[in-house]
Amino acid sequence: MTLPLFLIFAAALFAVGLYGLLSQQSIVMIMMGLELAINGIIVAAAAVWYFIIPGSPDAQTVILVAMAAMAVEMAMGFAVTTAIFRTRDVDMVDSASDLKG
């Protein structure tokens, strides 16, 4: 595979994630769209680093750290979503708008 194919795949992942992020009302679906968009960015970064600096362990380390941070972020987001659902029985963004500070 070549760099343009990886970048097209990353752009498609990002576009699907952005669509899911902007078009959904459910908090879980919004978080899934955000996850896809971030995965598209990570795929693009990994492909560029692989083709520009092959064999560099620095790029692999950065991508693993980004994936770990994304996993922690999503776990925290799902914990907050679960807590909101249990206390208020709300699973839509519009219904949770009174949570603003």
Angle at 61 between CA 59 and CA 67, to 5 degrees: 105
Is domain 3-99 given the CATH code 1.10.287.3510 in the classification?
Answer: yes
Query: By C-alpha distance, which of 29, 12, 8 is closest to 20?
Result: 29
User: For each of the chain's 101 residues, which pLDDT tens digit applies?
Assistant: 899 999 999 999 999 999 999 998 888 888 889 999 999 999 999 899 888 888 778 878 888 888 898 889 889 888 888 888 888 777 676 666 666 65
Tokens of residue 45, six digits: 């970064």
Q: What is the pLDDT of residue 95?
A: 64
Q: In the chain, where are the structural domains located? A: 3-99
pTM of the model: 0.77
Alpha-carbon span 39 to 55, nearest angstrom = 21
